Structure 1
Amino acid sequence: MPAPLQAFHLSGHAQGTTYAITYYAPDSVVTKEQVTQQLTEIDASLSLYHPGSLINQFNEARRGVLADRHLKIVGSAALRVYQDTDGLFDATVEPLVQAWGFGPQAPPAAAPTPATIRALLARVGSDKLHLRGDSLVKDVPTLRLDLNGIAQGYTVDVLAALLERHCIRDYLVELGGEIRVRGRKWPSGERWRVGIERPDTSAFAAPALQQIIDLTTGAITTSGNYRKFRQVGGVKNAHLINPKTGYPFQNEMISVTVIARDALTADAYDNALMGMDLAGALVFLRQHPELQVYLIYQRPNGTAADTATSGFQRLLLNP
């Protein structure tokens, strides 16, 4: 007779935020030390805040670097989503992110000038980035990568894979609000329930309500303009930068929640959808039935409204 499943909980700090893992197994087959080792390995590859990381080596190099497994997977995904979203998701936007005060360096005292933005746009564009064999190369020496938009989702997937290598089939992995689940809670057999913050009346209002999702497999991530912004001269600028114009996105989107098979995919598309207007997002989603999405947007009168794909609606728990 198989041993009964027990609940194990691991938590800590990583990538400038926190993580929490719950899994069910007969014994503690995955330890915090194993998780820490995995997180350290990812930071050594993808973290802009890690001085010697591979991505920082790429950013300082004139032509590129030999990519490790992490940089190849995330770099390839970034290029794929760049093509799929007509450039709205662009991992080379790092100089613009820094110029607007959201990068790893100290924020500038003022918003960038139009001349500065024009100069930086010449250094931005994933059409200048290529994976050639095991190498990640760039056409412009000043091209820089910022994979923060999808690195947390990827990290969640890597931690889920760590659990699955140890034959764990019931788990929840969360890092910085990005979540991936499989199976159920035990001994109750309940599905995993995930709450979604719902801002109240404007793009920068505090979260007020929650929707609850009932999930047994997949990943759920959220991107929004209501938490992370800077105020310069009385103007609130959100942290998501349009790689085509160089300015923060200006549209009706407040937040986007995406459910996908894996967290890397969900994390990439929640950012891209935040850059679309509502009509464009709905057209895009009709072309991507593999994504289930919940959109909160601002009406012209300033009030908040929401809509969701039919697949997302089926997962909602009604109050």
Structure 2
Amino acid sequence: MPDPQPPSPEVFDKYSDITHPDAFPEALSLLKSLLTDSTIKWESNGDRNGVELYYYQPDPPLPAPICRGVGTFPAGLTAEQILPTIHQIACRKNWDERFKLGFPLLRYSRKLVRFYAVQKGVGEGWFTIVSPRDFTGYSGHVREVGDDGVTRNFYLQTSAEFEDVPDVEGFVRGWTNLAGWVLEEKAGEPVKCSYIVKFDPKGSIPANLVAQVVKDTPACIDKVRTFIEKNGLVPYVNMHDEFPGQLRQEVLVGEETEINPENGEKLNDAGFRLTFSWFGAVGSFDINFDERWENGVKIDVEEGTIDEDLELKSTKGKVTVTVKEGGKDKKLKLIVSKA
């Protein structure tokens, strides 16, 4: 059976109406409660390379205990630099071994989408132990500055039911009350990260596998950290800056290393290519990339015209995109990759 496929790009030509206006705010409220409620009796689930692992099973018990991880990122990294590795699907495949595929279905704003995702099963055919799980719901970003001087960057997903997202043959539709990341920034301190997940896998899963998922899931903090240390920063646009225009797509795609068939030498390094598409509005924004890229980035303008619609100015670690009057309300599209 072929895998589910993402919708056509035209779906993102306008922002959609939210079917469940309370779903995302309620999930955010749950995340904040699980993050700060001192009465919750979290049980230690060990440590994974400096990431503290916890679980909590209330009474009456849930189908799976709530799990939580707490760790820090190396000094010098900002939340905006870390977030793309967490929310971009091309990166997730590298730090979540159970993740199979995913994509946005609708866009409600720059920071909120409807998502669809599939987690791998265990075994195949007659030897299937656990069927693949698929999930759909809302995924989005929120930033808040607390009275304690800490800036908290929330990125979370929560399940919802949609009539136009029917069950898929061969998959069990799982339910995620919350899969939430919190990146906390305070001047002079490294970014603190918490990852909290409350889910119902539905269907039948052996208890030992549920226990392993509860332990492995919050340990993804370490895998995100390792990914950044190994691969550097992927190209990104700050999530919480004011953005001029209406975003259509912001998709990162992994690139394979090209090999010269004649001598076997590498023609390029494997990396990531960012597709950024939007309806223009007069103003500017930055496309950021790893400052260690000595040759900067290559930008292909697939929609729009340089000088007439927009201007590009490159400096260390970023390219400033300025949309001119000629680009107002036009469909613009840039492809950004390592030069």
User: Do these two structures clear the TM 0.5 threshold for a shared fold by scoring above it?
Assistant: no
The two structures have a TM-score, normalised by structure 2, of 0.26
The two structures have a TM-score, normalised by structure 1, of 0.27
* Structure with the greater alpha carbon radius of gyration: 2
